[in-house]
Amino acid sequence: MKSVIVGTAGHIDHGKTALVKALTGIDADRLEEEKRRGITIDIGFAHFELPAPDGSSIRLGFVDVPGHERFVRNMLAGVGGIDLVLLVIAADEGIKPQTREHFDICRLLAVRRGITVLTKSDAVDAETLEVVRLEVEDYVRGSFLDPAQSPMVAVSSLTGAGLDELKSALARVASEVAAKNSAALARLPIDRVFTMKGFGTVVTGTLVAGTIRKEEELEVFPAGKRVRVRGVQVHGSTAESAVAGQRTALNLAGVSTEDLARGMTLATADTFRSTLRVDALLSLLPSAKPFKDGARVHFHAYTTETIAETRLYGAKQLKPGNEAYAQLRFAEPMLLLPGDRFIVRQFSPVVTIGGGVVLDATPSTRKQRVEDATAFLKTMRDGSPEEVLAARVARRGAIGLRLDDVPGEMNIRCEEAAKLAAKAGLVWCNQVLVAPAAYAEAKADALQAVKKFHDANPLVAGMSKEELRDRVNLGPEVFYSVLGKLAEEKKLEIAGELVHLPGRGVVMKDEEAESKKIIEQAFASAGLKVPSLKEVLASLKVDKIRAQKIVTLLLRDKVLIKISEELVFHQSALMDLRQKIAALKNSAPKIDVARFKDMTGVSRKYAIPLLEYLDRERVTRRVGDERVIL
């Protein structure tokens, strides 16, 4: 069954609550003070079903709002999630100040469907009713309530006159309302919190998107607390789930009423993040005063209310009736997403002055040119979904955007984000998306970094991967993707942990090559009675740093082998030693230190480190004071 949320709007005492009761049989005034004073103070709720023109049924949930100017903030808490509005105007009073403010609010919130209802028709004669009708028609002309496309019905909640006509109009208009997306990520702005005996904590709200099921885990924003849905009610009836467009009550486990309040939001867990600022398109009412950059306002979105500081992009002032891109900086965090509509009211005196739509709830904190910021926001406003994703990825450069973070930024599921990424031609680096231009730049930067390293370090065979990653400042997913791509394109070669340009090895000057030869000959000619490495290096023409790099090369190529902190041997001497020890196995399978010294002609200074080296190499195994030849 299709569910549609209907909101009332209009001046105080124009009969909104009486009309809802006449239609549904439910008194939406639930507070004792409301009944005692005879005025609506807070939002109230009712529901009933109507047959649609096609024979199906439509469930209508009513949000009845207060009409007094002192309670506009309560009105705003209820009107955010409505699908269509009943603009209620009393026939005996006509258009009044709150009629105008409520109507402005509905237009700023982009309400697309509605019915103009002339109540208290029994209180005036036919001629007066016709005069009021003409006045109201002129007032709403050109809006979503234009008489050419939207019904206007005169009724009397007291006598019942016109109610059947209104029900028919409701059924027709409600059937034209596009169904909300029940497959989207769930969001329920909370408008009531209370305890119900035998159940515990209960919250209510209009489910603006997605589906919420019994036993599902949700996250409370902005607190971040996890809760479990113990039970679900839809329009007062128990259900297994609630879908977008329904008035919903949830019995929650894991939270108390003290932890919750109107203005918080329940949403799909592990997806969204609260924000302290948004970039938006801000529209100013023609009736408002010129709006200055930096002005503070009362900000309202769904059931949330806070103070915001407004920064205009590229302007010092916004003129009445105009619109501009702006950043709104909040006094407290809240959950907002692209496409959310909002209302702003003047800080003092408090009157509605404008509203708009959120374009980006994760704006960049880096200082940027106004031209770049506005170009990005224009894409957020007018671009296709794949253009929007491409722009969001591109602004992050080579750092990229994790696929898991897209739902929280764009209010879409990962599966849809993956399809959009393919359409937009984005580069996949494991689970990180990168713009093609940024990826190409990262490749060029990596190549340039390796080239610079070679130029600065001719005696080093290559650059370590970690040093290269630090130089190009990339996350691991993007870095290893870039490295793999450059290797695939044969622009880089990878040898273990080293990266180098193809065909680029160690490049030595004449004195460096001569020094390398001197070092190698010094150890090769010494056999096992090797000199001190420091002594050999001290005799060279090159400086100490280059000499050490040459030694590092010889060790890397295993021309020299270091067996202890102080002893380095030529690989040929150690190979001869291994062969001699192996030859002893059949005649003398064991050898001790004394025999080893006699056989090699070395002192204990060399003998012990050499025997320990042979143990490590599994040529021998120590057993007591002897070595068994393996």
DSSP secondary structure letter of residue 532: P
Lowest mean pLDDT, pick from 197-206, 275-284, 481-490: 197-206
pLDDT digits (tens, 9 = 90+) for 374-409: 999 999 999 999 999 999 999 999 999 999 999 999
- Residue 116 has phi, psi (to 5 degrees) of -90, 125
Handedness of CA 413, 415, 418, 420 (dihedral sign): negative
With beta carbons less than 8 A apart as the criterion, state whether 627 and 589 touch: no
Q: Rounded to 10 degrees, what is the CA torsion of 470, 476, 481, 483?
A: 30
pLDDT digits (tens, 9 = 90+) for 94-104: 999 989 999 99
Q: Rounded to 10 degrees, what is the CA torsion of 195, 198, 200, 202?
A: -60
Q: Which amino acid is at 301?
A: A
Write down all domains in the chain, each with its CATH number in brackets. 2-176 (3.40.50.300), 187-268 (2.40.30.10), 275-360 (2.40.30.10), 510-629 (1.10.10.10)
pLDDT of res. 32: 62
pLDDT digits (tens, 9 = 90+) for 525-573: 889 988 888 888 888 877 887 878 888 888 877 889 988 888 999 988 9
Q: What is the pTM of this model?
A: 0.78
pLDDT of res. 502: 87
Handedness of CA 133, 139, 141, 146 (dihedral sign): negative
More confident: 273 or 68: 273
Which residues make Cβ contacts (< 8 Å) with residue 393, sequence separation at least 6?
Answer: 400, 401, 421, 424, 426, 433, 434, 435
Q: Which amino acid is at 1?
A: M
Instruction: pLDDT band for 229, please (50, 70, 90 cuts).
Output: very high
Residue 309 pLDDT > 80, yes or no? Answer: yes
